[in-house]
Amino acid sequence: MAETTTTPAASDRGDLADVGVTGLAVMGRNLARNIARHGHAVAVHNRTSSRVDELVDEHGDEGDFRPSHSLEDFVASLAKPRRVIIMVKAGKATDAVIDELVPLLEEGDIVVDAGNAHFEDTRRRERDLREHGLHYVGTGVSGGEEGALEGPSIMPGGSRESYDALGPILEDIAVDVDGTPCCTYVGPDGAGHFVKMVHNGIEYADMQLIAEAYDLLRSGLGMEPADIAGVFEDWNSGDLESFLVEITARVLRHTDAQTGKPFVDVVVDQAEQKGTGRWTVQSALDLGIPVTGIAEAVFARALSGAAGQRKAVLDKGLAGPSGVRLEGEDAEGFVDAVRQALYASKVVAYAQGFDQITAASAEYGWGVDRGMMATIWRGGCIIRARFLDRIKEAYDADEHLASLLLDDYFASAVDDAQDAWRRVVSAAVRLGIPAPGFSSALAYYDGLRRDRLPASLVQGLRDLFGAHTYRRVDTEGTFHTLWGGDLSEERQDTADQGSHSPH
Ligand code: 2AM
């Protein structure tokens, strides 16, 4: 270890390490290196101890690493309260490491799970560790391998007290945007992992919308990928400026070296998923929040992956207007219309994601500051975008904002875009180009702004077949019509509600 940095913190602590990382696969290694590079003494440990030696051999000169070959030595090398970051595969491995670790720790120590855990697992583990007098911090870490090393966006949950001890180190290693670290205390127990999950869900929606925009330009106007790359480059200098739009241009511009074809044409068109999008939708269903943008993105990936079904349909040749293109007047200004539709749909997708955070925060008593979530997503994250500054401003202006769509800026942005948005969705429908993200976002917007929804008819149907009752627009109370009798209306005792079959 050349050039060992001894931070004031380390010397105060009798030469014990400031923090420890166990689990030294790429993410754990990079986090440990990032911590060391910021002048903190970092204890490192891994189940297979050769990885500890590899890390120190290869990167020992980057800072003050304290290698341990047993968990006992690792824990003993940490200053109190001990701060232990676990970076293992989410699931059983996390529980296994916690089980080994807990007997070695003392009251007040802090266990951090920096993996992609499901927030319900984090809630359970936090409860269990609290009984042992330990703090459990489930933290979202965004930015992948590179982010872990160069500066991720960090979303820590757990007790406020644990953040006092841990926050300064995390804020140190997080990426910085305009002088603000992309790390803040999110809220108790599962809040950090929840917010990270929704972040990933929004990422799904954003990518789906971008993919639809590409498809509309390619199939609707007959543009070549390299030309569409130019369009995305152009869009990246306006309101749509974001990491995802930037890399879309790069991917579309790329030519396959082997065939000379556009890269997108040689890639199998079946999108995969690791599951956080699905988790987001499952949670949204439980919370009753319509995250249509995220759900459509998850379903679109599932449809793309249904290879057998797709082939059978293709072989049979199910009818459609495929092959039809926009021409003449229809094509005029279409590229810009797609830009506006993309922006409006993106506003809806983010509004829905933030609604889900709002609902969970209320349900679990987390007190999540939504403006701060937009702030810490501005760097490190896949969804980093100029747009997030606007979201932060919206929530800063009104912390109780009922929907992002109600913020003056977003309301007028969507209003300005809506003619183009309707034009693009109509064109997609006419041409047979699937645009579930664009069209469901528009349907959501139209549903939300509607004076009367046909849900009244749904209530009538439910009352007829299941006596599920309904409320009236003109008076308080719950009612049931005697559909099988004289069609008279009965006022229901509220205690009866919910006693019928659930539909
Ligand atoms: P390994 O090198 O011994 O496999 C990512 O999988 C990281 O988590 C690796 O560093 C891996 O250690 C570690 N890991 C996986 N399962 C584990 C377990 N049950 N206990 C401890 N570490 C584990």
Q: What is the pLDDT of residues 432-476, one digit of tens each?
A: 999 999 999 999 999 999 999 999 999 999 999 999 999 999 999
For the CA of 48, the nearest atom of ligand 1: 3
Residue 6 scores a pLDDT above 90? no
Comparison of pLDDT for 220 and 10, the residue scoring more:
220
Q: What angle do CA 436, 439, 445 make, to 5 degrees?
A: 130
Question: In this prediction, what percent of the chain has a pLDDT beyond 90?
Answer: 94
- Ligand 1: distance of its center to the CA of 23 in Å? 6
DSSP string, 37-94: HTT--EEEE-SSTHHHHHHHHHHGGGS-EEE-SSHHHHHHTBPSSPEEEE-S-TTHHH
3-18: average pLDDT: 60
**Nearest-CA residue for atom 14 of ligand 1:** 88
pLDDT value of residue 7: 43
Among candidate residues 214, 206, 207, 242, the one with its CA nearest the CA of residue 230 = 214
Q: Kindly give, in sequence order, each residue whose CB lies less than 8 Å from that of residue 232, ignoring residues fewer than 6 positions away.
A: 245, 246, 248, 249, 252
Residue 19 scores a pLDDT above 90? yes
pLDDT in tens, 215-234: 999 999 999 999 999 999 99
Residue 11 scores a pLDDT above 90? no
pLDDT in tens, 278-294: 999 999 999 999 999 99
Task: Indicate the SS3 state at residue 176.
Answer: strand
Residue 196 catalytic?
A: yes
Output the average pLDDT for the chain. Answer: 95
Q: How confident is the model at residue 183 (pLDDT cuts 50, 70, 90)?
A: very high
**Ligand 1 touching residue 23 (CB < 6 A):** yes
Residue 135 scores a pLDDT above 60? yes
Task: Indicate the SS3 state at residue 137.
Answer: strand
Residue 403 scores a pLDDT above 80? yes
DSSP string, 275-305: SHHHHHHHHHHHHT---HHHHHHHHHHHHHH
pLDDT value of residue 10: 46
Q: Kindly give, in sequence order, each residue whose CB lies less than 8 Å from that of residue 482, ignoring residues fewer than 6 positions away.
A: 488, 489, 490
pLDDT value of residue 493: 75
Annotated catalytic residue within 126, 171, 196, 346? 196
> Could you tell me how many helices (H) and strands (E) the chain has, helices first?
22, 11
Residue 83 scores a pLDDT above 80? yes
Q: How confident is the model at residue 273 (pLDDT cuts 50, 70, 90)?
A: confident
Count of beta carbons in the 10 Å neighbourhood of residue 498: 9
Whether the link from the prior residue into 81 is cis, omega within 30° of 0, is yes
**What single letter denotes the amino acid at residue 242?**
S
Q: How confident is the model at residue 494 (pLDDT cuts 50, 70, 90)?
A: low
For the CA of 24, the nearest atom of ligand 1: 10
**Ligand 1 touching residue 96 (CB < 6 A):** yes
**Nearest-CA residue for atom 11 of ligand 1:** 23
Residue 4 scores a pLDDT above 50? no
pLDDT value of residue 495: 55
pLDDT value of residue 8: 46
Check if the beta carbon of residue 127 is closer than 8 Å to that of residue 189.
yes
**Ligand 1 touching residue 475 (CB < 6 A):** no
- Ligand 1: distance of its center to the CA of 88 in Å? 6
**Ligand 1 touching residue 115 (CB < 6 A):** no
4-8: average pLDDT: 42
Describe the strand order of the beta sheet including 135-142 as a list of residue ranges: 65-67, 42-45, 19-22, 83-86, 110-113, 135-142, 153-156
pLDDT in tens, 375-396: 999 999 999 999 999 999 999 9
Check if the beta carbon of residue 111 is closer than 8 Å to that of residue 98.
yes
Q: Kindly give, in sequence order, each residue whose CB lies less than 8 Å from that of residue 92, ignoring residues fewer than 6 positions away.
A: none
pLDDT value of residue 263: 98
Task: Indicate the SS3 state at residue 232.
Answer: helix
**Mean pLDDT lowest among 28-42, 213-227, 318-332, 408-422:** 318-332
141-145: average pLDDT: 94
Question: In this prediction, what percent of the chain has a pLDDT beyond 70?
Answer: 95
**What single letter denotes the amino acid at residue 162?**
S
**Nearest-CA residue for atom 2 of ligand 1:** 48
